[in-house]
Structure 1
C-alpha cells in the first residue's frame, strides 16, 4: 500500500472538525439528532454513539488526543 502524507496543519484541522461533530452529537439536542440519524441510516445498529466512537478514534489516529475518550483515564 502506498504511503499517504498529511500536512500537520491539515491533520489538526480535520481533528478539530471531528471533535466539533462529536461535541455537537453529544450536546443538548442529543435525542433529536439520534432520532434523525437513525431515520437517515435506516437501521438502529449504527447509532450516534457508534459514530461518536468512530470520530474519537479518527481524532486519536490523527494524533489530536491521547485516546482518553477511547481507553479511559490515562495511566500515570
Structure 2
C-alpha cells in the first residue's frame, strides 16, 4: 500500500491521551463502525496500520478524528 493512500487518524482516549495512526480507508471505516457499535457490547477492536497492529478498548475511546484532505507542505 502506498503512503499516499493512507489517512491520518487520531484516536482520543478518556484521560487525554491521543494515538495517531496512518490507516487505509478500509481500516478507518472499520474503526469508525466499531466505535459506533461499542454501545452494543463490543469492547475490543484490532486496527492494522502498515507499521503496527493495535488492539483498542472501545470503552475508553472518547473520539476518532479523521483527516479529510491530504496534507501539503508549501504555500
Query: How does the TM-score come out when normalised to structure 1?
Result: 0.31
Higher helix proportion:
1
Which structure has more strand as a fraction of its residues? 2
Structure number with greater Rg is 1
TM-score (norm 2): 0.32
